[in-house]
């Protein structure tokens, strides 16, 4: 079954791709056999992240248009927040990007975080690699707007785009958001709003290299995504960074980060939060560290 699915994915069969993602997402029997057979791919992963309301979905929609205009293929993974109780999610990106659902060069899949704190899906690495096997030129991953814990995208994407808006607060608050260190490209969206130029200037001052060893500045691009303004320049900056990453050590750091995440995931496979809760409920005179000791 897995060999047949992989063959169909390589041939561009969208139904096979969607089915395979579902099977891996739900850890269907022997799904790891498929993952081990995945070919090396030259597809690039672009991570889109930022605080809620910054315009991530609108930027993603505009980037799809730029990629399609160049006759390239793009796969999009949109991650939406899950309920902490039933792990369901309102997959709102299906509405925002509805014009692309029947386009032959575009594949969009919505995923729920399923309780993951990093703004991503627990199987995001595996799903992204399956997307790469489908021979997309680019894979865009749009994370949940959760703020500080969103830095996980830096361990997955070749290029991480951080989107902020002028009213996001002063530059100190931006740094506190935990996004300063992970951005390869900064986007100041809704740049037609008051004080946008001042915000951009302050942001660029903060991003200036403070050491002679650092020679590259993080670019800051102004956009009005709802009007498609600045998106062409943004895509050019993304492509420039992707070319640079291909010839840098970061490529191997990214692979090491992915390997670490997968090993961690499988080592913890037999530990269930539900089981932990039940055992804690049953215990008397509960001590957290005595309880944890049995798992160490």
Return the HEC string of the chain. Answer: CHHHHHHHHHCCCHHHHHHHHHHHHCCCCCHHHHHHCCCCCCCEEEEEECCCCCCHHHHHHHHHHHHHHCCCCEEEEEEECCCCCCCCCCCCHHHHCHHHCCCCCEEEEEEECCCCCCCCCCCHHHHHHHHHHCCCCEEEEECCCCCHHHHHHHHCCCEEEEEECHHHCCHHHHHHCCCCCCCCEEEECCCCCCCHHHHHHHHHHHHCCCCCCCCCCCCEEECEHHHCECHHHHHHHHHHHHHHHHCCCHHHHHHHHHHHHHHHHHHCCCCCHHHHHHHHHHCCCCCHHHHHHCCC
d(CA 120, CA 127): 11
- Domain ranges in the chain are 1-37, 39-248
Q: In the predicted model, is pLDDT for residue 139 greater than 90?
A: yes
pLDDT at 241: 92
pLDDT at 125: 87
Mean pLDDT of 118-125: 71
Q: What is the mean pLDDT of the chain?
A: 82
Asked which of 18-22, 31-35, 82-86 is least confident by mean pLDDT, the reply is: 82-86
pLDDT at 84: 45
pTM: 0.83
Homologous superfamily of 39-248: P-loop containing nucleotide triphosphate hydrolases (3.40.50.300)
pLDDT confidence band for 236 (50 / 70 / 90):
very high
Asked which of 4-13, 224-233, 243-252 is least confident by mean pLDDT, the reply is: 243-252
pLDDT confidence band for 91 (50 / 70 / 90):
low
**195-235 per-position pLDDT tens digit:** 889 888 888 887 776 554 455 678 999 999 989 999 999 99
Percent of the chain with pLDDT over 90: 35
pLDDT at 172: 44
Looking at per-residue confidence, does 205 or 81 come out higher? 205
pLDDT at 89: 46
**151-179 per-position pLDDT tens digit:** 577 778 899 999 988 876 554 455 545 56
Mean pLDDT of 50-76: 91
pLDDT at 244: 82
pLDDT at 106: 93
Percent of the chain with pLDDT over 70: 80
Q: In the predicted model, is pLDDT for residue 135 greater than 70?
A: yes
Q: In the predicted model, is pLDDT for residue 27 greater than 50?
A: yes
Q: In the predicted model, is pLDDT for residue 259 greater than 90?
A: no
């Amino acid at each position: 079954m897995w060999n047949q699915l992989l063959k169909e994915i390589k041939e561009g069969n969208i139904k096979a791709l969607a089915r395979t993602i579902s099977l891996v997402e739900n850890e269907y029997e022997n799904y790891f056999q498929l993952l081990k057979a995945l070919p090396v791919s030259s597809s690039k992963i672009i991570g889109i992240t930022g605080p809620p309301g910054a315009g991530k979905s609108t930027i993603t929609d505009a980037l799809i248009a730029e990629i399609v205009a160049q006759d390239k293929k793009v796969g999009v993974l949109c991650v939406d927040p899950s309920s902490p109780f039933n792990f369901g999610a309102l997959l709102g990106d299906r509405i925002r990007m509805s014009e692309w659902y029947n386009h032959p060069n575009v594949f969009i899949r919505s995923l729920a975080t399923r309780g993951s704190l990093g703004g991503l899906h627990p199987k995001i690495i595996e799903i992204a690699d399956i997307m790469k096997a489908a021979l997309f030129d680019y894979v865009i991953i749009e994370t949940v707007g959760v703020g500080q814990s969103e830095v996980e995208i830096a361990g997955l994407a070749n290029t991480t785009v951080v989107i902020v808006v002028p009213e996001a607060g002063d530059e100190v608050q931006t740094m506190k958001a935990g996004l300063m260190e992970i951005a390869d490209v900064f986007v100041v969206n809704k740049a037609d709003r008051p004080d946008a130029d001042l915000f951009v200037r302050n942001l660029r001052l903060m991003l200036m290299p403070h050491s002679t060893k650092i020679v590259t500045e993080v670019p800051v691009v102004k956009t009005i995504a709802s009007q498609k303004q600045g998106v062409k320049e943004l895509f050019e900056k993304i492509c420039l960074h992707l070319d640079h990453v291909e010839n840098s050590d970061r490529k191997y750091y990214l692979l090491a980060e992915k390997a670490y995440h997968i090993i961690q995931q499988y080592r913890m496979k037999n530990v269930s939060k539900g089981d932990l809760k039940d055992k804690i409920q049953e215990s008397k005179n509960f001590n957290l560290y005595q309880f944890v000791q049995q798992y160490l």
